[in-house]
């Protein structure tokens, strides 16, 4: 399941939506005020999460990023604070650096995501996990992270992203 706060682009033109503008300012321009505003709005997704089965609390983990500022960590922390689960910033690790997916041709994204070497640092067997990313284009990164968590024994993985964008 994928939960998204909003679209990055207006549907009929190359103009950012309000959410897209916040993501751009927070991620690409390093604006801490935009990051805080986006994280506050992102917390609302906690209400849309499916019920987790009785047992261990759900874990909320950001997709590892090699880029600063770490907007995904702020988003994941905000979601956890809103009741989505226990925040685990280092739950998923990436053993190899990769370029931003927006710079990779769509037919090469799965290969690049696989080369990242995602793995679960802590035990996840029997856990429900929420994986957080800032922007989703094709879902390749989220799919690679979800696969590594499911392979490690997670019961379920729900993805949450601030914005969905489109190939331009």
* Structural domain of 25: 2-164
The SS3 of residue 162 is strand
DSSP E strand stretches across 46-147: 59-62, 86-87, 92-94, 118-120, 128-136
The DSSP secondary-structure symbol of 135 reads E
**Average pLDDT for the chain:** 89
- Cβ neighbors of 63 (< 8 A, separation 6 or more) are 72, 92, 131, 132, 133, 141, 142, 145
When pLDDT is averaged across residues 81-91 and rounded to a whole number, the result is: 94
Find, among 4, 49, 1, the residue nearest to 165 by Cα. 4
When pLDDT is averaged across residues 97-117 and rounded to a whole number, the result is: 81
Comparing 10-19, 70-79, 108-117, 148-157, which segment has the lowest mean pLDDT?
108-117
The DSSP secondary-structure symbol of 9 reads B
Structural domains counted in the chain: 1
Q: What is the pLDDT of residue 110?
A: 83
The SS3 of residue 100 is coil
**Could you tell me the two tokens for 119?**
């793995």
Distance (Å, whole) CA 130 – CA 24? 23
- For the stretch 113-130, pLDDT in tens is 888 888 998 889 999 999
Residue whose pair of structure tokens reads 């005020």 in the numeric block = 33
- CATH number of the domain enclosing 8: 3.40.50.2020
Whether 78 and 95 have beta carbons less than 8 Å apart is answered as no
- For the stretch 6-36, pLDDT in tens is 999 999 889 999 999 999 999 989 999 999 9
Distance (Å, whole) CA 81 – CA 10? 30
- Does position 63 have pLDDT exceeding 70, yes or no? yes
Structure confidence at residue 66 as a pLDDT band (50, 70, 90): low
């Amino acid at each position: 399941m994928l939960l998204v706060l909003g679209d990055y682009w207006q549907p009929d033109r190359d103009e950012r939506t309000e959410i897209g503008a916040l993501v751009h300012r927070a991620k690409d321009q390093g604006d801490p005020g935009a990051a805080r505003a986006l994280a506050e709005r992102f917390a609302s997704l906690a209400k849309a999460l499916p019920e987790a089965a009785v047992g261990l609390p759900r874990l909320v983990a950001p997709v590892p990023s090699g880029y600063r500022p770490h907007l995904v960590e702020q988003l994941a922390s905000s979601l956890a604070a809103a009741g989505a689960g226990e925040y685990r910033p280092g739950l998923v690790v990436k053993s190899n650096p990769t370029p931003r997916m927006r710079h990779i041709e769509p037919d090469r994204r799965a290969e690049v995501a696989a080369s990242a070497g995602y793995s679960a640092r802590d035990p996840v067997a029997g856990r429900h996990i929420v994986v957080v990313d800032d922007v989703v284009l094709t879902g390749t990164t989220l799919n690679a992270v979800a696969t590594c968590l499911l392979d490690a024994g997670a019961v379920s993985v729900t993805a949450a992203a601030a914005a969905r964008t489109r190939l331009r």
